Amino acid sequence: MNPGTRSLVGEDGQQFLFDPGSFCLELLLTGGPAQHQRDELLRAPADLADWLAGSRLALAAPMADVRVRLTELRQLKEFRDTMWSVARSLVRGDAVEPRYVELINECAGATLRPELDPATGGRRWASPITGDQILGAAARDAIELIGQHGDRLRECHADDCSLLFADTSRPGSRRWCSMQRCGNRNKVKSYRNRQG
């Protein structure tokens, strides 16, 4: 599986692949506020390190030597809850609370630093990777997505699915979280409707 693409399980037990298209939205799959209804995957700092290994950040270089403190994990979760609320408001055309935007801005300080491995010339992240840097990467990603590509922020078109993603397709025509999942369910539904 490509880093950044996640295997999810629908309420009916169907397993499907979902690419949220951006790191800040991928983070929303790890949990969030109660109304988001996602299980908390990041209970301890080690959970975050494990999760990052398969994340979109690993597309650029492996997420090795991740060291996260408990306070950093708490901040990341606070960012995640805020991001969920902001993204959902935006896709639904609701007003976004300025204090939420301010929180995203405040989180964008620390940066993941890419460097070259002197032995191989390959790209790697300067080590150790800290929780602060992960938070910074997520917040910068959110600022870029919302500020530059806000029109590409989407909620899955299925009535009973609220997965959020960034449409990175060239024509900007992605409607479904996954063709395998909601795209296919919609096809079946419209086929049935045609059959009357």
If you count them, how many residues does the chain have?
196
Out of 83, 158, 164, 166, the residue judged to bind Zn ion by CB under 5 A: 158
Out of 25, 29, 66, 182, the residue judged to bind Zn ion by CB under 5 A: 182
Out of 64, 91, 161, 179, the residue judged to bind Zn ion by CB under 5 A: 161
Residue with smaller CB distance to Zn ion, 89 or 180: 180
- Regarding 25 and contact with Zn ion (CB under 5 A), the answer is no
- In the bound complex, what is the minimum distance in angstroms from residue 184's beta carbon to Zn ion? 10
The tokens for 124 are 């790697």
DSSP character string of 150-169: GGGEEE-SSTT---EEE--S
CA distance 165 to 74: 24
- Please choose, out of 30-38, 79-87, 149-157, 186-194, the segment that lies near Zn ion by the rule CB under 5 A: 149-157
- Please choose, out of 44-52, 70-78, 129-137, 156-164, the segment that lies near Zn ion by the rule CB under 5 A: 156-164
Q: Give the burial class of 68: count Cβ atoms within 10 A of its Cβ; 0-12 exposed, 13-18 middle, 19 or more buried.
A: buried
Q: Which residues contact 26 (CB under 8 A, 6 or more apart)?
A: 4, 6, 20, 55, 56
Residue with smaller CB distance to Zn ion, 11 or 151: 11
Residue with smaller CB distance to Zn ion, 16 or 100: 16
- Please choose, out of 74-82, 96-104, 128-136, 178-186, the segment that lies near Zn ion by the rule CB under 5 A: 178-186
Q: How many CB atoms lie within 10 A of CB 37?
A: 10
CA distance 122 to 85: 38
Residues contacting Zn ion: total by CB under 5 A: 5
For Zn ion, the binding residues (CB under 5 A) are: 156, 158, 161, 177, 182
